[in-house]
Amino acid sequence: MARSTVDQVTQRRRGTGLIALDEALSWGGYTLIAPQTAGGRVYLIDIRGQVVHQWQLPVRPGRHAVILANGNLGYNGNHAASPELYAAWSMWHGGDFREVTPDGRTVWQFEDVTHHHDAQWLPNGHLLYAACERLPDAFARRVPGGTAHGPDVPMYGDVIREVDRQGRPVWQWRAQDHLAPEQFPIHPGFGRYHWPLVNGLGVRDDGTVLMSLRTTAGIIGVSRADGRVVLHIPPSVVSHQHAPVPLPNGRILAFDNGNFRAGQHVSFSRVVELDPVSGEVVWSYSDPMASSFYTPYMGSAQRLPNGNTHITESATGRLFEVTPQGEVVWEYILPWFAPYPDEAARRTGGGELNTVFQTFRYGADALPWLPAGTASHR
């Protein structure tokens, strides 16, 4: 039987690379991209979508990469020896952290095979990251909700760790020690394998650690002094969100995915700016045709110096920038498509993908090693 000559990858068929640019309104700069299925390649593109620098890492990303204050790359790599704790673990675990120079030399490495999702490279050189541990069966039975995967499938709980440059632990927070499970039920749409699944972290100026709770929905703020929850944005405000980012004005920027959004018959994502005191949404962006902007997993947003917001729509590899008025002024679709390299990840995320966990925009001042004259108006 003859096979179609049409590209069967829907997102690629719709177009890749630079889609739109308003140079007068865009902040410009350079975007750092660590595609999930690009074999450990990390790209830096300019505002016109041209690759101006590239790294090749020995392992694929566990989640993402950032540019550190010294200009090096902070890489959250997928640890080759991490155990398969549950069905989706291979898709989102990291555990192999590396600081890498622009010419590709690893100058620092730290490993923790229990790490998953987010990590924050702190200004003092410490690393703050989410890990997990098996919950006692008696405690797991107290956690309401979720879909059971069988009587013998264990449940894992989050442990947030901070280590110094020598890899020594300096702070730790365990969900089972500080959260009452009855107050944080797992949504019925998620399995009973990870509670509450901290998929994003942030640190406010006062030291409060922000945590995005995926399977229960909501954002909490935790006191470093005693581990108490001192801030709570409930599931009635956000829906299975990612990436809580503290802003200079004291508010919190978050990527609100919209899985199982209450009272809505159409799934859509939005970016929200939250007042942590009132819990109210004080600014948001969603597409005028709501379903045109939606990623059921991953996603992030970054407030740029001119007030615009850089957004990562992860599942479709779509990056775009909007003004405070919600006008799109830049759009780029990742052109790097491939299946996950390991069978465990392919069982959860099949097909040829151009997904990316988070991307970040930087000005030229953060990249002093870039050749002079590299295209950008920042």
User: For residue 374, is pLDDT > 80?
Assistant: no
> pLDDT (tens digit, 9 = 90+) per residue, 126-170?
999 999 999 999 999 999 999 987 778 899 999 999 999 999 999
Q: What is the pLDDT of residue 243?
A: 98
Q: Which domains does the chain have, with CATH numbers?
A: 14-366 (2.130.10.10)
Tell how many helices (H) and how many strands (E) occur in the chain. 5, 28
Distance between CA 185 and CA 193 in Å, rounded?
13
For 100-104, 120-124, 262-266, 327-331, which range has the lowest pLDDT when averaged over its residues?
262-266
Structure tokens that stand for 262 in this block: 């209450």
Q: What is the pLDDT of residue 373?
A: 66
Q: How far is CA 294 from the centre of its chain?
A: 15
pLDDT-based confidence at 19, cuts 50/70/90?
very high
Which residue type is seen at 122? L
Give 311's Cβ-side CA count (13 Å radius): 35
Q: What is the pLDDT of residue 375?
A: 62
pLDDT-based confidence at 90, cuts 50/70/90?
confident
This prediction has a pTM of 0.96
- CB neighbour burial string for 86-117, b if at least 16 within 10 angstroms, e if fewer: bebbbbbbbbbbbbbebeeeeeeebebebbbb
pLDDT-based confidence at 378, cuts 50/70/90?
low
Q: What is the pLDDT of residue 105?
A: 97
